[in-house]
Amino acid sequence: MLFYEPLFLFLFGPAVYLIYLFFGEVRLRRVIILFAASVIFYAWSEPVFIFLVFASVALDLYAAQKIAASSEQKPRKLWLALGVVANLAILVYYKYTGFLALNLDALLKALTLPGINIPQIALPIGVSFIVFEKITYLVDVYRGVTAPARAPLLYGLYVFFFPKLLAGPIIKYHDIARQFDEMPHADLDDFVIGFSRFMLGVVKKLLFADTLASGADLIFSHDVSALGFAEAWAGVLFFTFQIYFDFSGYSDMAIGLARMFGFRLLENFNMPYVATSITDFWRRWHISLTSWIREYLYFPLGGNRRGEARTYLNLWICFFASGLWHGAAWTYIAWGAYNGVFLVLDRLFLVKSLQRLPDWCANIVTMVVVIVGWTFFRATSLSQAGALLALMANPWAQSSMEIAIPEEYIVVALIAAAICVAQRLSLYVKDFDWVSAAQRYALASNSALSLLFLAALAKGLADPFKPFIYFRF
């Protein structure tokens, strides 16, 4: 069930919200209503996998109780390890078994040995986000950052909470535990602010991301040998804007929906394409993943406390793991390793070098690095990525066939680029804030947003639905 599908927009969403408002006077009722709605929401798409999630939730609760109850370090570590390994086993089995088998099969055949059967395992929606969030609960309890959930129902709600369930933001348990304990009741401001944010997400997804996706698909589906310099850059730029508007659009919908129910989720994007270094980019892009990696991987590896060489290695390992988390394919692994290299270079000298340049120039350099990375991310293979990058580096490369790119794709891409440029220019205006500006001109901004929302719905009903990019993760 997608947030912008008619089933959600006109039936499930309004029904759940009205039940929540009119029957949720008592805190326990609010918990039950939201939990039941979240389970139904997920079971609609994953009716089988949900039982495995329930079983792992029960294990988490039991392990957390054992961790909290023990005063000795060894059993605490054993229970933590059991819980973390059990969760990672779910992720590895569903996400990486096929990838590992495929590569093992290729290796065996290269050695002239009999191959193996490659299993076909369906990837459950949102499994990576669910597993990472469940790990935060166990680690938070182990570290003493938070107490075990007061009731199984509250922890179940944390895992299944439908606004963020499918593609984040990744909510760390200690960031949301108090809100689930208190279960705030939504008021009118929550509805207005939340629904406005939700509308913005729908506009980003349907009007921008889906149109840009069609442009990216048009280029990436062609034989690379038939493309030229212009077509290669067009395809990668289409995807560069597509992934930003697609994923930030989902985050807007998730944050908006949660706010409508009275919950405040942390932001997941902060104008990433204005970044002046790769380090700055990762402070702004998918903030919840970056902070998760820092708290639950980088610090346990030793962070920057074990010397410069170990710090560089830890940084690279973290972003190599980030690439692997994104998908079971060599292209994602290459993308993660690539970002890890530039984060190390930032720490060595690159940030200082970029700081000597004007901000706009450092922004352009950073965006070239980001765009090259997105080429690996979007490509179907490393060979396709390499061929596209070779074309992008050769201004004299000509296509061997005419590829007609519809004008609306180009127009939307130009508008998307203009929005990102406007974000960069806004940094030069003293005390400027986009939210404050929208509130200052509330009538005009809300009217424009409402019209765009209606246009987005019309487009969504007319065109085939395109799933969010991050659903596959």
Q: Is residue 384 helix, strand or coil?
A: helix
Omega of the bond prior to 169 within 30 degrees of 0, cis?
yes
| Per-residue pLDDT, 397 | 84
Residues 222-253: pLDDT tens digits? 989 889 999 999 999 999 999 999 999 999 99
Pick from 68, 173, 167, 184: which is nearest to 125 by CA?
A: 167
Exposure letters 320-338 (e unless 16+ CB within 10 A, then b): bbbbbbbbbbbbbbbbbbb
End-to-end CA distance of the chain: 16
Biggest CA pair distance of the chain:
71
Angle between the N-to-C axes of helices 442-462 and 188-203, in degrees from 0 to 180, rounded to the nearest 10: 50
288: confidence class by pLDDT, cuts 50, 70, 90 = very high
| Per-residue pLDDT, 353 | 94
Pick from 413, 394, 359, 378: which is nearest to 208 by CA?
A: 413
Please tell me the distance from the alpha carbon of residue 235 to that of residue 385, in angstroms, as a whole number. 12
Residues 141-191: pLDDT tens digits? 999 999 999 899 999 999 999 999 887 799 999 999 999 988 888 888 999
Contact by Cβ (8 Å): 277, 351? yes
Among the ranges 65-69, 426-430, 467-471, which has the highest mean pLDDT value? 65-69
Please tell me the distance from the alpha carbon of residue 430 to that of residue 438, in angstroms, as a whole number. 16
Vertex 35, ends 172 and 173: CA angle to 5°?
10
Instruction: Retrieve residue 469's tokens.
Output: 């990019």
Contact by Cβ (8 Å): 473, 325? yes
Residues 153-167: pLDDT tens digits? 999 999 999 999 887
Sign, Cα dihedral of 333, 335, 336, 337:
positive
Residues 372-381: pLDDT tens digits? 999 999 999 9
Contact by Cβ (8 Å): 279, 351? yes
Residue 473 has pLDDT above 70, yes or no: no
Residue 356 has pLDDT above 90, yes or no: yes
| Per-residue pLDDT, 472 | 63
Pick from 30, 12, 141, 164: which is nearest to 76 by CA?
A: 141
Residue 259 has pLDDT above 90, yes or no: yes
Residue 441 has pLDDT above 90, yes or no: no
* Mean pLDDT value of segment 70-87: 92
Residue 469 has pLDDT above 80, yes or no: no
Please tell me the distance from the alpha carbon of residue 81 to that of residue 417, in angstroms, as a whole number. 46
Q: How crowded is residue 211: how many other Cβ atoms within 10 Å of its Cβ?
A: 24
Residue 398 has pLDDT above 80, yes or no: yes
Instruction: Retrieve residue 380's tokens.
Output: 């179907």
| Per-residue pLDDT, 110 | 85
* Mean pLDDT value of segment 87-104: 89
Please tell me the distance from the alpha carbon of residue 155 to that of residue 292, in angstroms, as a whole number. 19
Please tell me the distance from the alpha carbon of residue 207 to that of residue 429, in angstroms, as a whole number. 28
Residues 306-339: pLDDT tens digits? 888 889 999 999 999 999 999 889 999 999 999 9
Pick from 462, 455, 407, 14: which is nearest to 204 by CA?
A: 455
Average pLDDT of the residues of the chain: 91
* Mean pLDDT value of segment 418-431: 92
* Mean pLDDT value of segment 276-301: 94
Q: Which residues are catalytic?
A: 326
Contact by Cβ (8 Å): 251, 243? no
Contact by Cβ (8 Å): 453, 207? no
Residues 197-213: pLDDT tens digits? 999 999 999 999 999 99
Please tell me the distance from the alpha carbon of residue 272 to that of residue 424, in angstroms, as a whole number. 10
DSSP assignment of 165-192, as one string? Answer: HTT-----HHHHHHHHHH-PPP-HHHHH
Residue 460 has pLDDT above 70, yes or no: yes
Contact by Cβ (8 Å): 206, 459? yes
Residue 351 has pLDDT above 80, yes or no: yes
Lowest-confidence pick of 47-51, 123-127, 395-399:
123-127
Instruction: Retrieve residue 345's tokens.
Output: 């270079």
* Mean pLDDT value of segment 273-298: 94
- Greater confidence (469 vs 280) lies with 280
Contact by Cβ (8 Å): 325, 317? no
